[in-house]
Amino acid sequence: MPAQKSNRGKGSPKKKTTSPQSVIPSADEAILQKSSPHSVIPSAEEALPPAPPPVPTVSPLSIEEINPLVKSAQYAVRGRLLDVAKSLEDKLASGETLPFTNIVRCNIGNPQALGQRPLTFVRQTLSLLLNPGLRDAPEIDISAIYPADVLERAASYAGAVPSVGAYSDSQGIRIVREHVAEFIGARDGCPASADDIFLTDGASAGVKALMTMLLRGPQDAVLCPIPQYPLYSATTTLLNATLAGYYLDESNAWGITEDALLQAVEQARAGGATPRALVVINPGNPTGQSLPKESVEMILRFAAKHKLVLMADEVYQENVYGDAPPFYSFKKALSALRECGAAGDAEAAEQAASTQLVSFHSTSKGFIGECGLRGGYFELQNVPLDVRAQLLKLMSINLCSNVVGQFATGLMVRPPVDGQPSFEKYTAEREAILQSLYSRAQRIAAELNTLPGFSCNAAEGAMYLFPSVALTTPMMEAAAAAGMAADEWYCIQLLEATGLVVVPGSGFGQKEGTFHFRTTFLPPEDAITEVLAKLKDFQAGFMQSWATQGDDELALVA
């Protein structure tokens, strides 16, 4: 058409070509991008071609030039303490004498790195999946090596994919998603659907995908516990969004109160951000609490009332110990709300229909402890189809989560049952791991509570203790002089004296003026005995030497 033709080349906006490959905008497109979405006719000034950017003098992959958000992101679980540990390990290897003979890594929940053995059923099945030669070789009597239920599972999983070496569907292998849905249904006593399940490389990949979907920039806030596992704060930083922390109540078993949640909402709003998601880690990391049913219900209703996507990190759901409140999933709470709604409670019905819930689980924790296999899933509730399609596209940019991890997830959620040949061994292995974790948790907490300046809540769940440590003003001054946070300074001294690697509380967030560290209770019993004895000596000597520094008044005893 002539009118359109005459517009070309005269600086008026051209219809943008939508090829997804086009990266460098044309001059016209650049003008369009610069102008406000409402302005149609560029001013004369805007119509001038923009000056080309100067040619950079440093490489793009230099520390000044890389994405500043990456530099700002913090992940203390693998922070400075590990560098010190590595240099101490090198010294030991070169024959230097230190106050200890080996480094004990209690900085990370990595059970098999600290001697936990993998479950036989899981590894037998995976070994068959990875080695089709073993399955197919006529000369091998495979039933003499593997129990029938292992053979059966390996055959059914192998039949679901062309090969474990082939990409799978981006959402995850159907049969595994069906097994996950059956597991959730049995756990919660309410239906679950394979269509709501996405299989992921550990829970981390799922969390990152969801946060990428949700957080558009600084105007969006995510409510996170303080202290919290730093995946959430680091991802919020990477996405240039706003973190609004809510404090866990240390004096009440690290519980969650509605007041604390409300304060975080108000703080985010006062700062100009809209809260869009609420992260809850239950059982907690680093704090180890298992939330009672009433708290879970309160949090769900809070999310409903404030229109927050509830991100339920439930990766420690199998790790609940002793008399602690049993694990109660957010999905179960949502189902209970649905039932109230169906029984005539109109508010419950509205909340149950509108509350968006994403629940995460992982093969890394529990008693399976397969961190390196990178398996996990998330389940969506009340998320519309068009958003799911976008999420699937986002996941498909990574093609698929690793297939061995997907099968490991299937094996986690569908263990052998009573009557099957692997059942007894599986049960014995599971009980031994969980029982041992519980007894190590109790033992370390009890011991820590005898130390001067220490106060430690029991671990109700997960794999961590998070004791508070009293630090005096001179200690804080010494830390500041060394250019470190006070708790990091303390943890480095602890490491240098005992070989124990822990993570300073500041890496997870903590109330101003309080100091903590996180330790796992994963090392084997004999390593724990040795470390506790060293810790006891260290702390006694440490407190005594600093008590003579003129200020023995404790900054805090929680």
Residues that bind ligand PLP (CB under 6 A): 109, 202-204, 229, 231, 281, 285, 313, 315, 362, 364, 371, 376
**Own/partner long-range contacts of 448-455 (Cβ < 8 Å, ≥24 apart):** 448/535, 450/536, 451/535, 451/536, 451/539, 451/540, 452/539, 452/540, 452/543, 453/539, 453/543, 453/554, 453/557, 454/539, 455/557, 455/558
**Angle CA(18)–CA(24)–CA(27) in degrees, nearest 5?**
90
Distance CA 525, CA 516 (A): 23
**Own/partner long-range contacts of 95-104 (Cβ < 8 Å, ≥24 apart):** 98/499, 99/496, 99/497, 99/498, 99/499, 99/534, 100/497, 100/498, 100/499, 100/534, 101/499, 102/499, 103/499, 103/501, 104/498, 104/499, 104/500, 104/501, 104/523, 104/527, 104/530, 104/531
Distance CA 497, CA 103 (A): 11
Q: Which is nearer to ligand PLP, 150 or 226 (CB)?
A: 226
Q: What is the largest CA-CA distance in the chain?
A: 91
Shortest approach of ligand PLP to residue 218 CB, angstroms? Answer: 24
Shortest approach of ligand PLP to residue 510 CB, angstroms? Answer: 17
Q: Which is nearer to ligand PLP, 242 or 401 (CB)?
A: 401
Element holding 78 (H helix, E strand): none
Distance CA 227, CA 287 (A): 7
Shortest approach of ligand PLP to residue 25 CB, angstroms? Answer: 37
Residue with tokens 């006070």: 486
Question: Is the distance from CB of 475 to CB of 486 less than 8 angstroms?
Answer: yes
Shortest approach of ligand PLP to residue 461 CB, angstroms? Answer: 11
Shortest approach of ligand PLP to residue 322 CB, angstroms? Answer: 20
Q: Which is nearer to ligand PLP, 242 or 409 (CB)?
A: 409
Shortest approach of ligand PLP to residue 532 CB, angstroms? Answer: 23
Shortest approach of ligand PLP to residue 315 CB, angstroms? Answer: 5
Question: Is the distance from CB of 58 to CB of 65 less than 8 angstroms?
Answer: yes
Q: Which is nearer to ligand PLP, 291 or 532 (CB)?
A: 291
Shortest approach of ligand PLP to residue 316 CB, angstroms? Answer: 7
Distance CA 466, CA 401 (A): 32
Nearest residue to ligand PLP, using CB?
202
Q: Which is nearer to ligand PLP, 285 or 519 (CB)?
A: 285
The three-state (H, E, C) secondary structure of 420-431, written as one string: CCCHHHHHHHHH
Shortest approach of ligand PLP to residue 420 CB, angstroms? Answer: 27
Q: Which is nearer to ligand PLP, 231 or 456 (CB)?
A: 231
Q: Which is nearer to ligand PLP, 362 or 422 (CB)?
A: 362
User: Residue 249 corresponds to which tokens in the numbers above?
Assistant: 């109540």
Residue 227: asked if its preceding bond is cis (omega within 30°), the reply is: yes
Q: Which is nearer to ligand PLP, 203 or 470 (CB)?
A: 203
Helix boundaries (H) for 414-524: 423-448, 473-481, 486-498
- β-bridge partners, 198: 378
User: Residue 290 corresponds to which tokens in the numbers above?
Assistant: 């298992």
Q: Which is nearer to ligand PLP, 204 or 351 (CB)?
A: 204
User: Residue 408 corresponds to which tokens in the numbers above?
Assistant: 């490991």
CA dihedral 131, 137, 140, 144 (to 10 degrees): 60
Shortest approach of ligand PLP to residue 272 CB, angstroms? Answer: 29
Q: Which is nearer to ligand PLP, 106 or 471 (CB)?
A: 106
Shortest approach of ligand PLP to residue 104 CB, angstroms? Answer: 18
Q: Which is nearer to ligand PLP, 153 or 374 (CB)?
A: 374
